[in-house]
């Protein structure tokens, strides 16, 4: 049996131009992206009229979300990839030996601007990606994020084993994590 592919259509409703995506979801998912574009993901059997009605009803919210996006400064240009790598790599080199018994090869380091995360690990591909904005955060917070991603190579989820390992390797990790919430 072949999987059904997502179906995409450009639509206009309530003064909002948006991309409608039919896919396997349970609820309507309305998103305003950083470039101001709007997408609506809906279950496959919902009529177009319901999608348009939903967007029209949420036009005010879309406008407010677009204003928030415009007000955000483009932080991705503040730090270059080279600056970030030069600052982050020594931290990775220093913390990797803490997990080397369980992680036989040191993960490669990548950097990029992220809007919702400080870091992400790619266990199968053998690398971690750190948010360029970490360069503006306290050094203790940077150490926390690097170790957090390294520990995910041992415990991929946030279950008890993950937190036990973090507490063993960095007893003050909870306080360091709070430095990122400011």
CATH classification of the domain holding 92: 3.30.2010.10
How many domains are there within the chain? 2
Instruction: Give the model confidence (pLDDT) of 76-133 as tens digits.
Output: 567 888 889 999 999 999 999 999 999 999 999 999 888 778 999 999 999 999 998 8
For 128, 139, 146, 148, 149, the CA distances from 131, given in Å and listed in that order, are: 10, 14, 11, 13, 12
87 in the same domain as 55: no
Shared domain check, 162 and 93: yes
Given 72, 95, 119, the domain boundary residue is: 72
Please indicate, yes or no, if residue 171 is contained in any of the structural domains: yes
Type and span of the H or E element at 59: helix 59-71
Locate all alpha helices (DSSP H) within 77-171, ordered by sequence: 81-95, 139-151, 160-169
Residues 127 and 153 in one domain: yes
Which range marks the domain in which residue 46 is found? 7-72
125 lies in the same domain as 147: yes
In this structure, the answer to whether residues 87 and 158 fall within a common structural domain is yes
pLDDT of residue 28: 93
Q: Highest-confidence range of 7-21, 111-125, 154-168, by mean pLDDT?
A: 154-168
| Structure-token pair, residue 176 | 């360091």
Across 9-28, average pLDDT = 90
Same domain, 85 and 65: no
Inside any domain, residue 1? no
> Is residue 78 within 8 Å of 57, Cβ to Cβ?
no
- In this structure, what token pair is assigned to residue 119? 């870091």
């Amino acid at each position: 049996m072949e999987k059904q592919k997502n179906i995409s259509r450009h639509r206009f409703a309530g003064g909002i131009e948006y991309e409608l995506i039919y896919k396997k979801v349970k609820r309507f998912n309305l998103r305003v992206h950083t470039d101001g574009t709007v997408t609506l993901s809906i279950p496959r059997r919902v009529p177009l009229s319901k999608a348009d009605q939903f967007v029209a009803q949420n036009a005010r919210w879309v406008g407010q979300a677009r204003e928030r996006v415009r007000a955000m400064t483009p932080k991705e240009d503040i730090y270059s990839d080279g600056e970030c790598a030069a600052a982050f790599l020594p931290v990775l080199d220093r913390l990797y030996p803490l997990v080397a018994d369980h992680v036989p090869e040191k993960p490669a380091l990548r950097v990029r601007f992220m809007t919702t995360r400080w870091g992400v690990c790619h266990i199968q591909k053998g690398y971690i990606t750190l948010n360029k904005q970490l360069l503006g955060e306290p050094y203790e917070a940077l150490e926390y994020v690097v170790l957090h991603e390294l520990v995910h190579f041992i415990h991929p989820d946030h279950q008890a084993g993950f937190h036990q390992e973090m507490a063993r390797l960095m007893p003050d990790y909870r306080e360091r994590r709070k430095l990122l919430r400011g």
